[in-house]
Structures are given as C-alpha cells and as structure tokens.
Structure 1
Amino acid sequence: MNDMQRDALVTARACLAVLGLVLPMLMSAPARADVCAADDSGQKVCLDKPARRIAALSPGATELVYAAGAGDQVVAVVSYSDYPPEARQVPSVGSHTRLDLERLVSLAPDLAIGWSTGNPGEQLTKLDALGIPVFMIEPRSVEGVSSAIERLATLAGSEAEGHAAAQGFRDGMAELAAQYADADPMPVFYQVWDEPLMTVNDDHLIGEVIALCGGRNVFGKLERLVPRIGTEAVLAADPEAIVAGGMGEENRDWLDAWKRYPELQAVERDNLFFVPPSLIQRPTPRLLEGSRIFCEKLDEARSRR
C-alpha cells in the first residue's frame, strides 16, 4: 500500500467515525416542521414556529385573530379595533390606511395580518422587507370567514379554539340560510355610504347576506364590488326596503334623507332600516348576529305588504 492509498484509507476511516457519531444525533433530533397557510392573495406564508406576537392591521383582522383563539398574542392593532373589548387595550399603530411603521416595528411582531384592499401596499412591502411575514386576508364569503379563522389559528398554534369558532359560525349561518330558504323575494338597496352614495354588488359578502335573507339586491349585477351610484338610480330601482350601514353605529340621518322621496316603495311602507355596521360590514363571526338582524328587518318589510 503506497502513501496515497494509506492517506485515503485514514480519511475514509475518519469520515466513518464522524458519521457514526453524527448519524444517531440526526436520527434522534426532531425534524423542523414549518407552520404554513395560504392567504387570500394566494401566497403561502410559512413560519418556523407558531406566531407569538401578532399585529392585526384592520379592525376585521383583529376580530378574526381573537376568534381564532390568539387574542393574547396580539401586540398591535389599528384604529377602530374595538371588538372584543380587550382589543382596545392593545397598542395602536395608526389607521388601516396609514400605518405608523416605526411604532409597529418597535413592537417586534413575528406576524402581521394585512387587509388586501385596505392597507397601503408599499407599507406592507416594507414590513416584508424587514423580515416581518405578512398574511393577507379579505374574506368575501361566509365560508371565507370560517376559512380565515382556521388559517389564522394554524399560524397562531390555536387550532382547537379556532376550528371550533369557525365551525360554530358555519353552522349558525347554515341554520339561518335554511330558515329563509323559502322567503318571499324582497327588492333591497343596501347603503354603504352617503356621500358619495355607495352600495354593494352580489359578489360582496353583504350581497351574500342579502340573498341569504331572501332579498334581491337591486344593484347586485353591477361590476364593481362597492359601486358608486346616484340618487336617480335608486329612484329608478324603487327598492321595497332600504338598509343603511356606515362607519359608526348610528347613521339614522341617512335613512331620514330618503323620506324626501315619498314615491319610493321603501319610504311609502316605512321600510327604512338600520343595521349596526360593525355587525354587517366586518367579515367576522359577528356577521351571524348582523345577518339575523338583517333577515328580521326584511321579515318586518314583508309583513307590511
């Protein structure tokens, strides 16, 4: 055996010895299991462990994270994050339309929950560049709300509580849908805002609620999710009921404004209704409560035929 062969043999024996030490350690070490979920933009977000410091960047996101059983992990919210009540004690980092990035980063979140069409895209990009994963949500259906809760629970490590909340919401909405499956159709105008005058189409989550309650959205076929319309369009559609929402909990003056048009069926029959917007305009489990109120209002209108 020459020197080159002897050196190769020594090297091989050394490698085998090291392998003999390392292999058992590798076999006994737990495999890394990333926590992953697909968000509503179609992106897969993975964490090396469940999130422990969560920033919820819209009021709806805040409610969904709490519903998912991860309320104790929320370290940042935005303005109007008023439910559940304990969310009001969490530090605010601006509004959903303009985040205080310096304040947000100082709170060291390991996950941010973004609103697809509400948060500024450039600010979310900065968060991602800073190493803060952003999970985008914007549920547009009843099932989307349940799914969002389940996916957030996966990322937060609170699957048991989150999945129970999601199923409870599914079951409640299914029960309500069955109750109104044979309801007489009711032409409805839902008013999102007054100036400019805005409504929703059938693809909007509120459009799904209108249909669930036996309503027919008079602007349901418009292309935009939240279209702007004119007063003349409402007069031409002549809805049998008008339901108003908005940002606050009281927008009674919106309904009073329609009383100037006594020729409208909704005005003639006193079918001008208000549903608290936090119950109907946020894609959260409280939508079940808002839907019940909405359905009851349409039943009231049916009784006046």
Structure 2
Amino acid sequence: MYLWLDRVIGRDSYAWHSGGTTAGRECIALYFRNAADAEGFCAAFPELELADGTRYPGYSSPALPFGRKTGEDEALCNLYNVSTTQEAMRQLFRSFEFTDKAGNLEPGSIYPDRLAPIIRHNREALELVRARWGMPSPPSVLKTVRDPGVTNVRNTSSPHWRRWLGPAHRCLVPVTSFAEPLGPGKGNQWFAAAGDGPMFFAGIEARDWQSVRKVKDGETTDDLFAFLTTSPNAMVGAIHPKAMPVILNEAKQWETWLSAPFELALKLQRPLPDDGLRMIENPI
C-alpha cells in the first residue's frame, strides 16, 4: 500500500499515521492534498473500509450523513482493467482508416481521473488516443471551482449530456474486465466477457476542455471521457442492483455507436444479456 502511495500519489501529496483501534477495529489515518487522490486510493484498495462513526454499534443518534437513508449501501466502484494490445485494436478496426496516437500503452487497472485509451473520431477516420476519465460535471453539482469529473452517465435526456451524444463525440472505451464492490471491507467482484471476444464501453468524449481537476495543478486543458450505464443484468445485479456499464461486444454495435443517429445509437443503452459475462476472481 505504501509503495503504491509513493509511486502513484507522491510523498509530497499525502501523509499517514497509525490510528490504533476504534470500535474494536484497527484504523489508520491518511491525509490527501486533494479529493481525487483520495478517490483513487479507495478504488485501488477496496478491501479497506472508510471510517464512519455513524455505522458503529455505539452510534445512537437518528441523524445520518446528508443524502443517506437507513440501510442504504452507497458504495460505488469506478475501476476497470485493460489488457487489449494496441495491435489487437488496430486489427479490429482494420477496415477503417485508423491512427494510433496513444503512445506506449501498458496493460493495467484504470482509476477515475487517470489517462486511459479510447477510440474516437478524427474527421473521416478513427484514432486511438489517451484521455482523462471523467467528463465535465453539471454546474449545478459543483460547490467549488474544482471539477473532479463524472465517470458514468445514465441520464441521456439531460441537456448537460445531450451536447456530447452526437456521433462526433461518441467513443469506444476498451475494457477486458470491470469491478463492482462486494460490500464494505469485502473487496470487489470482477466481471469479464463470457467468451474470448473483445468488448468496449459505450463512451462519450470532450476535447480541449478547460477546468480545475486538481487545485494544486490549477486550470488545465484536457481530453475527457466517460461511459454510459444502464440497468444491470441478472449477473451484475446480484452484486450491484442499481446499474452496470453499457457494454458493446459486436462489430455492428461498435459501428452503430460511433456513427448512427442519436435515436438508433441510444437503443444500445441496455443491459448485456445474462450469459454475456462471467465472474472472475482477479482482473484480466
């Protein structure tokens, strides 16, 4: 864990000290300079549970944190893995003019606000590039100048998202496995395609977007992306009953998502068939 903190977050961006025990459980205190790093840490170590005194047996007040209902599990998982090679992606789209601008892509896990590969339009061609995970947030939800980004999009009728739902802003997000939380302190359940074929998330993207992602960096200009979600199929719903990513696993679906009119493309915002995924123990 500490090696990960030093390598990914940087020693000047976090601090920690042992916290002893609280309510009979071992604790450690971690301090981050910005919320995005804290979110990345939580995604990287799902087996750790955030301390929440309102969940301890000794908590007797009826008050709960704002927006949380009794018995509600508000845990979310923003974590997926990519191991598809660049050559494999070039071969999948060999019938198109295809340009690889992603540099040297290393396989591994993708966390919010990190760079990840996407396939997007470049005029009449397609290009493989890296973009930052998290589309611009609706202004109404921002409390400060900082915008950490929105990783998943469900409400495609929102005027905020409509501007990016045309073909020019749609993209494919390569994925080989994705995770959903099993519950506090229980880690993640990973899902992969049932067969050997490739799969992509149905994504949207924005280019040259100016915003403050991290206060220490100030305003930056970034290419951003997110992917659509929908109601879960039976397999994912057993773990996460609220939603699952929109997954495209057929060439016809990829072409439809990238080029079809809005009304046709949005028909792809539906659960993958129940037999389209398998549960796996570790990411692939």
Per the shorter chain, which TM-score range? under 0.3
Q: What is the TM-score normalised by the length of structure 2?
A: 0.26
Q: What is the TM-score normalised by the length of structure 1?
A: 0.25
Name the structure with the higher helix share.
Answer: 1
